[in-house]
Amino acid sequence: MSKKDGAPTEKLFGSKTRTKLLDLFFSNTNKSYYVREITRVIEEQINSVRRELLNLESIGIIKNETYDNKVYYSANLKHPFAHPLMEIFSKKIDTSKDKDVHKSSWDEYIRPVKKYLQALLITNRLPGQDGIDMLIIGDDSTKKLTRWAEIVEKRQGKPMNYAILTKDDFAYRKSVRDRFVLDIFEMEISEIVDPEKIIKE
């Protein structure tokens, strides 16, 4: 969010800290943050951040999850205002025919493995919930995708469950209604990178 856009947006949302938080969460919908990390990123005082987090959580705009005794906050993509907020704060919106696909920093993440990665699905798995955080579809014969997934896990700052399938394996599992694949689609999905329409076909 540029300085030029900042003042009108602050007037709309009533608080500079609240505006920064909404910008953080809804331009990075695939990420979650703990309080002290948030204060560093948006450069606001911790008391102000805590107050606005409580306000946003009370109306359901954001949600929290606990990992390793730390509370992480993220955008609640099930909230009816989620997509309007993504349109306001997101840096990158997909203008293709699939209007519901939101481009985010995952586009930057996948750049090093674009040659090997054919599709990617990210879920919002809750602590203690069965399932995976990332479904990676592509060629992992060189283990580049495995190493990339480990790097992503470190960047996210929390444990992540992931599975890597070849395009053919995924297509077969989907065709026979494999329980593993069906369970993934029953989870809350936050991101899909699917240029070849492998997941949606």
Instruction: Supply the CATH classification number for the domain 106-193.
Output: 3.30.460
Nearest to 161 by CA among 200, 118, 198, 127: 127
pLDDT, residue 102, reads 41
Q: How remote is the C-alpha of 26 from its chain's centroid?
A: 9
For residues 98 and 183, which has the higher predicted lDDT (pLDDT)? 183
Helix locations, 60-121, DSSP H: 82-89, 106-109
CB 1 within 8 A of CB 89: yes
CATH 1.10.10.10, domain 3-89, yes or no = yes
User: Other CB atoms closer than 10 Å to residue 31's CB: what's the count?
Assistant: 21
Q: How does pLDDT run across 159-183, given as a tens digit for each residue?
A: 788 999 999 999 999 999 999 999 8
State yes or no: pLDDT of 3 exceeds 50. no
Average of per-residue pLDDT values in the chain = 81
Closest by Cα among 65, 63, 75 to 25: 75
**This prediction's pTM:** 0.52
CATH 3.30.460 residue window(s) in the chain: 106-193
User: Where does the chain hold its CATH 1.10.10.10 domain(s)?
Assistant: 3-89
Place of tokens 């996948």: 110
Q: Which amino acid is at 91?
A: K
Q: Answer whether 56's CB lies under 8 Å from 76's CB.
A: no
The pLDDT tens digits of the residues spanning 9-63 come to: 555 577 889 989 998 888 888 778 888 889 988 889 999 999 999 999 999 999 9
Give the pLDDT confidence score for residue 97 in this predicted structure: 38
pLDDT of residue 92: 44
Tell me the average pLDDT across 61-69: 83
Please tell me which of 9-18, 107-116, 138-147 the model is most confident about, judged by mean pLDDT. Answer: 138-147
In whole angstroms, what is the distance from residue 17 CA to residue 48 CA?
A: 7
Q: Tell me, what's the pLDDT at 89?
A: 79
Nearest CA among 171, 119, 161 for reference residue 140: 119
Token pair in block for residue 27: 């331009």
Average of per-residue pLDDT across 49-78: 88
Higher local confidence (pLDDT), 69 or 52? 52
